[in-house]
Structure 1
């Protein structure tokens, strides 16, 4: 019932209009492959693929496995092929791996590139060199304009309530401002954990929803059992916003902060100068069990396979869409 003909081919024809967000540590090939086979775009941060000194790049091994498994699935299931996948590049000046990782992704012709923490022309050019679509995540209209000016094909509006490095703005306000001048691909991030919320994102003006935190509590996710169970048991009131852990404002699970011996209601701040991706992440080891999550986790009721989660989202989306159409017909 939705028209996605204006989108680049890699973003069309999905089972539901959803992209699984790249989750630090959590997103690994098992999860990405399951997401794509279920019919939504799966993704992972390039920095999640880490190898020991002297070993071949793990990123290349991951891309080989994902590409080959999805190709085999598509050959076996021509009537319901897998969705494409995306790789997230952290474009922060401290990411010493960026240039190498760009070359690897271009060589493997990654179909969708997601960039974060900085918009750079050469990164978008690398995506375009292999036919890829470049999406950049932003937290306000100013950053959105800069990203498009530097060659991004589409935008990911990271609004209040999103997990990880969340923006402060209301999603309706953020999408509305962007849509006054930009008619390209627009994704919305922020507490999208149900099919109803996914449809609401489209009604607000986005093309697709960007879903992260619910996938932490899946069987394929690279997260410890305590983290997954905390997602299941927590709700929006259990989320705290702080810049302490990475230097950029983000949303975290209060119980994980408390277990680390800190008061989640009285956390000091930190500035962006403390952020470093030279070793693959920005959290000091002392904070490795401070767990990120968004405010939509109240909808997560169980640890389950990723495919089953997508099934639930699809049922809810279809039901919500049917309800809206019935209402519209009743008014006509």
Structure 2
């Protein structure tokens, strides 16, 4: 199932899949559920209110996964914290110290070069996967020594890239033989199998994990995904200054017109929103929600183990179609 680059995880993965790290969505319950079911669980360290809480989360998750392994005799899939390495992250040094203490098997770096954290993470045995949104970003991360690249392609939820996934993967594979992860548009096992055929080692699944019982997402966010389709996704720079895939219905509910948003990064949520449109002023990300093109594959809110089981069945079915 997995390539030679991931053989040390042999027998631990039910799928070559990462439950994508999602701001204000990925938490302890989702991580435990994903890893127990053979999916790499990833969460942004920024989801923790403090470095102390990050330590508590990791301790709790690790203990629960050890208990699961003791009960079942099966080792869980790896846990994979996601660290923002941009200079704007005031907690970078402190969060990194916590990760080094817990010695995660995999770490994903986002919003910048992984250069400053590569050596200390490698020293504790972690694989480092770097988020990249362009060919040049991929080249730089490869040159820095990243063990893998997460290709943010058109259709990924939240802050994303713009490149076609077919073109992006093949361009990267022309110069890089490390781990490649496809982020964007993977809504089922068929798409995951296609990513492998394309040359990827792993895929990201984010939007469908938002709509699980274990995710920390607002219940209205989950239902909006169930009710929506890819036509409800808007790519805009208005909220973060970066290309971001957002849900149009949540923008409308906040009193904004998705077809007439302010310029790049101009929205100051709480000032630019009609306060009469809601009982309380919405906050960026808490009331204006993201989603990816794979929203069209979200048909119900379900438990994470059921989502994984369904994806495994789809993945196997797709594999059968590839057989001679």
CA contact (8 A) 1:164 1:292 kept: yes
Question: What is the aligned partner in structure 1 of residue 139 from structure 2?
Answer: 145
Distance 1:128 1:137 in 2: 17
Q: SS state of the match for residue 119, structure 1?
A: coil
Among candidates 293, 318, 321, match of residue 323 of structure 1: 321
CA contact (8 A) 1:4 1:13 kept: no
Among candidates 145, 154, 162, match of residue 160 of structure 1: 154
User: What is the root-mean-square deviation of aligned Cα atoms in Å?
Assistant: 1.7
Distance 2:221 2:257 in 1: 19
Which ranges in structure 2 are unaligned for 5 or more consecutive residues?
269-281
Residues 271-319 of structure 1 deviation map (CA, whole Å, 9 limit, x = unaligned): 59x9xxxxxxxxx935631100001111111111111111111010001
Residues 154-184 of structure 1 deviation map (CA, whole Å, 9 limit, x = unaligned): 0001100000111001000000100001111
Distance 1:247 1:31 in 2: 29
Among candidates 54, 59, 72, match of residue 54 of structure 2: 59
Taking structure 2 as the reference length, what is the TM-score of the superposition?
A: 0.92
CA contact (8 A) 2:225 2:298 kept: yes
Question: What is the aligned partner in structure 2 of residue 90 from structure 1?
Answer: 84
Distance 2:295 2:203 in 1: 15
Moved >4 Å (runs of 4+)? 10-13
Q: SS state of the match for residue 186, structure 1?
A: strand
Distance 1:322 1:315 in 2: 11
Distance 1:135 1:100 in 2: 20
Q: How much has 1:263 moved relative to structure 2?
A: 1.1
CA contact (8 A) 1:236 1:294 kept: yes
The answer on 1:19 being equivalent to 2:18 is yes
User: In structure 2, do the counterparts of structure 1 residues 8 and 153 end up closer, same or farther at CA, with 3 Å as the change threshold?
Assistant: farther
Distance 1:155 1:267 in 2: 32
Residues 172-222 of structure 1 deviation map (CA, whole Å, 9 limit, x = unaligned): 000010000111100001110110000011111111111111111100100
Distance 2:299 2:121 in 1: 37
Taking structure 1 as the reference length, what is the TM-score of the superposition?
A: 0.90
Among candidates 258, 265, 283, match of residue 264 of structure 1: 258
Question: What is the aligned partner in structure 2 of residue 117 from structure 1?
Answer: 111
The answer on 1:292 being equivalent to 2:286 is no
User: In structure 2, do the counterparts of structure 1 residues 7 and 324 end up closer, same or farther at CA, with 3 Å as the change threshold?
Assistant: same
The answer on 1:311 being equivalent to 2:309 is yes
User: In structure 2, do the counterparts of structure 1 residues 269 and 43 end up closer, same or farther at CA, with 3 Å as the change threshold?
Assistant: same
Q: How does 1:172-321 map to 2 (within 5 A)?
A: 172-270=166-264, 285=283, 288-321=286-319
Distance 2:94 2:263 in 1: 33
User: In structure 2, do the counterparts of structure 1 residues 68 and 88 end up closer, same or farther at CA, with 3 Å as the change threshold?
Assistant: same
Q: SS state of the match for residue 158, structure 2?
A: coil
Q: How much has 1:71 moved relative to structure 2?
A: 1.3
Distance 1:91 1:3 in 2: 28
The answer on 1:76 being equivalent to 2:87 is no
Which ranges in structure 1 are unaligned for 5 or more consecutive residues?
275-283
Residues 48-86 of structure 1 deviation map (CA, whole Å, 9 limit, x = unaligned): 0114xxxx71000001011111112112222x3210110
Question: What is the aligned partner in structure 2 of residue 279 from structure 1?
Answer: none
